[in-house]
Amino acid sequence: MDLVDSYVNAVAKALPEEQRADIIGELSEDIRSEMDERQKELGRPLTPDEQEGLLKKRGNPWLLAARYRQDQRSVAFGRQIIGPVLYPFYVKVLTFNLGLTFLIVGGIFLALRLAGQNISVGDMVSTCTLQFFIQFSVVTLIFSLVEKHLTKHPDRWHIKGTGGKFRLDLNIERDFQVRMGQVGMGQARMGSQRREVSRFESVSVIVASAVALVWWSSVQSHPFLIFGPAAALFNLAPIWHQIYFPIVVLTDLEIVRAIINLVRPDWTQFRAIARVILQAGGLAVMWFAMKAKSWVTVADPAADGAGKYAQVAHIVNQCLLYVLVSAAIFSAAMIIFRITELIRRRRWDVEPRGVGSAAKEGN
Amino acid sequence: MTITTVRHTVYVVHYMTPGTDNHELFENLRLELRRGSLVLAVLAALRKEHYGYTLRKTLADRGMAIDEGTLYPLLRRLESHGLLVSEWREEEKRNKRFYRLSADGKEIFKQLMTEWQSISTSLNGML
């Protein structure tokens, strides 16, 4: 697949099916005509960089596709939060998520019903309403953040070097502008190592952590939020209450860290150190949780069919053990990686500046 | 240098440089003015048959450059209103969509041109 195909495919995905073939045929022809003409002018084939340059001039494929669409619907709460460009993707994702969620919830209700549980219409309505609210809020939040990014940086996207796939550049870390001509190559090389924490990232972390905190606090008193209708049969083991406070503290600290980086995006070293400390804290909590060996218990061991539920709890506990072990290994690997990166940057920062000065003089 | 010259220079530097509100306002008004005349330009160019790319080149050569993201949706809209007809044909081993004015398009173009001339005459008298 060449770059033109990749670009055109990206446009196609954002077009209504009935118009797709027609628009794509015409667009593809227009791009190839332009490239042919440019090749004739240069007397040689275009390099991939030149091809990407021509495609970049045409703009973001999703924005281009939106101009063809008749459907200009958007999502607005007072002001527009998801525009016509992302609206079709938003509807697709939300529909898929809700469909899948309701299918799973329906399956759980059916299984409970077959197991002889009494399921009221009220249970079903409240579960579905809650799931709808969660999915709607999360999907809408994510899309509104992407919309904001797209509006602010419509030119941040790639085709080249992405395996033929269109990618929005959602890099949450943005290099400081390296003024090559003014600071020289050596300093520029050092400058390229200096980054700033994007506000997009900080705001995302604050929002996501706040949502997680609310959820975590609610789960303690309402196990329904994690077990759904099975909350009548299972309980959270005491370990979850023991690690409740440490997790709240770690999440609060992460929010504080993000707020500080929102005010001081240039404090990247602070973020790197804070991340290592918080991740180490998380690992300690995970270690403590792993030692419990039981995370889900049967609500009423004397009830009818309790043996069957104990078996289910055993399977769930086994799965949770694997999840916790995997998460702990991943977390430990991340800590090692971040410490290595910190040391590498530290060395870079204390490196003599002579190289940069010499390069500056040489310019 | 008079005080008026200084004021004028300050005004131009501070209020008419790119990035200022006035510059943005001018740009919006300019685009609005051009947008209104694009339909007429496209209809005029399509008195002769063209496919998309040559149409874009023709318009650009005549000082009416238009990006493809604006041109193609506009062509679709004009075709859906019955002002243009199009057909896919192979040329230079590639399938291209050729556009030209329909009978209705020719009629509307004549009327629009008369209107344009009338506006142009009126404006010239005022400017």
The mean pLDDT value for A327-352 works out to 80
In CATH, which of 2.140.10.10, 1.10.10.10, 1.20.120.10, 3.40.640.10 is domain B37-126?
1.10.10.10
Task: Report the alpha-carbon distance of residue A306 to residue A298 in Å, rounded.
Answer: 7
pLDDT at B56: 92
The DSSP letter of residue A229 is: G
Partners of residue B53 in chain A, C-beta under 8 Å: 29-30, 33-34
pLDDT score of B72 more than 80: yes
Q: Does residue A242 or residue B1 have the better pLDDT?
A: A242
ipTM score for this prediction? 0.72
Q: Which tens digit of pLDDT belongs to each residue from B15-40?
A: 445 556 788 888 888 888 888 889 99
**pLDDT above 90: percentage of residues in chain B:** 55
pLDDT score of B3 more than 60: no
Give the best residue of B54, B61, B84, B94 to mutate against chain A (max A CB count within 10 A): B94
Average pLDDT of chain B? 84
CB contact under 8 A, A25 and B97: yes
The mean pLDDT value for A263-275 works out to 86
Map out the domains of chain A as residue ranges: 3-72, 73-154, 171-363
Partners of residue A33 in chain B, C-beta under 8 Å: 53
Q: Which residues contact A98 (CB under 8 A, 6 or more apart)?
A: A131, A132, A135, A136
Say whether residue B38 is in contact with chain A using an 8 A CB cutoff. Answer: no
Cα dihedral A256→A260→A262→A268 (10° resolution): -110
User: For A115-119, B53-57, B107-111, B117-121, which range has the lowest pLDDT when averaged over its residues?
Assistant: A115-119
Q: How many CB atoms lie under 10 A from the CB of residue A26?
A: 22
Average pLDDT of chain A? 80
Q: Which tens digit of pLDDT belongs to each residue from A237-256?
A: 888 888 999 999 999 999 99
Q: Which residues contact A79 (CB under 8 A, 6 or more apart)?
A: none
The mean pLDDT value for A161-181 works out to 54
pLDDT at A180: 39
Confidence band for A337, pLDDT divided at 50, 70 and 90: confident
Distance from CA of A70 to the nearest CA of B (A): 10
pLDDT at A224: 74
Partners of residue B91 in chain A, C-beta under 8 Å: none
Partners of residue B70 in chain A, C-beta under 8 Å: 67
Closest Cβ opposite residue B52 in set A30, A58, A59: A30
pLDDT score of A66 more than 80: yes
Q: Which tens digit of pLDDT belongs to each residue from A139-152?
A: 898 899 888 888 88
CA-CA distances (angstroms) from residue B61 to B35, B43, B50, B54, B65? 18, 16, 14, 10, 8
Give the best residue of B68, B86, B88 to mutate against chain A (max A CB count within 10 A): B68
Q: Which tens digit of pLDDT belongs to each residue from A214-226?
A: 888 888 777 777 7
Map out the domains of chain B as residue ranges: 37-126
Closest Cβ opposite residue B72 in set A27, A33, A34: A27
Say whether residue B88 is in contact with chain A using an 8 A CB cutoff. Answer: yes
Q: Which of B95, B31, B69 is closest to A66 using CA atoms?
A: B69
